[in-house]
């Protein structure tokens, strides 16, 4: 399942919408690589890129929340951390040849991303917009 950007995902903050769109693109690239039977090292590189970008993006969101004293920071931060631990654990197993990139793995990523953006991320919109972040 490929993810397509839709206005319903907008958090009303330009830089984060752009980063979310980039994340969709990276997840779709990974999915395409899997479907086209890319070699393990190519998939590893794609996955590395996705993880690195995710870390950068989470960091940018968290910095912005902290800067403006967002009250939902702890819960939000925890969701980010939990996802990163899961993805890192998957990566270790994938690198060791113990796990495969499957439709289920891709489904998990797509699901997490869409739910997180449409649910948890949306919660900071009004608060940060109110602080002049747009």
Name the residues that contact Fe ion, by CB under 5 A: 61, 121
CB of 42 to Fe ion, least distance (A): 28
Please identify, using beta-carbon distances, which residue of 47 and 128 lies nearer to Fe ion. Answer: 128
Please identify, using beta-carbon distances, which residue of 28 and 120 lies nearer to Fe ion. Answer: 120
CB of 80 to Fe ion, least distance (A): 6
CB of 130 to Fe ion, least distance (A): 18
Please identify, using beta-carbon distances, which residue of 24 and 121 lies nearer to Fe ion. Answer: 121
Please identify, using beta-carbon distances, which residue of 7 and 41 lies nearer to Fe ion. Answer: 7
Residues 128, 133, 114, 8, CA torsion sign: positive
CB of 55 to Fe ion, least distance (A): 12
Question: What b-and-e string marks burial along 35-46, b requiring 16 or more CB atoms within 10 Å of the CB?
Answer: eeebeeeebeeb
Separation CA 113–CA 115 (nearest Å): 6
Separation CA 74–CA 78 (nearest Å): 6
| Nearest residue to the partner Fe ion, using Cβ | 121
Please identify, using beta-carbon distances, which residue of 61 and 114 lies nearer to Fe ion. Answer: 61
CB of 38 to Fe ion, least distance (A): 28
Residues 82/6/103/38 CA torsion (nearest 10 deg): -100
Separation CA 57–CA 43 (nearest Å): 21
């Amino acid at each position: 399942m490929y993810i397509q950007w839709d206005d319903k995902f907008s958090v009303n903050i330009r830089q984060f919408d752009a980063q979310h769109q980039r994340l969709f693109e990276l997840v779709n690239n990974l999915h395409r690589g899997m479907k086209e039977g890319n070699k393990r090292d190519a998939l590893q590189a794609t996955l590395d890129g996705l993880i690195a970008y995710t870390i950068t993006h989470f960091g940018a969101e968290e910095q912005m929340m902290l800067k403006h004293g967002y009250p939902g920071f702890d819960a939000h931060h925890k969701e980010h951390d939990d996802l990163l631990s899961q993805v890192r654990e998957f990566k270790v197993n994938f690198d060791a040849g113990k796990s495969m990139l499957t439709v289920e793995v891709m489904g998990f990523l797509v699901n997490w991303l869409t739910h997180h953006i449409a649910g948890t991320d949306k919660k900071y919109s009004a608060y940060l917009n109110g602080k002049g972040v747009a």
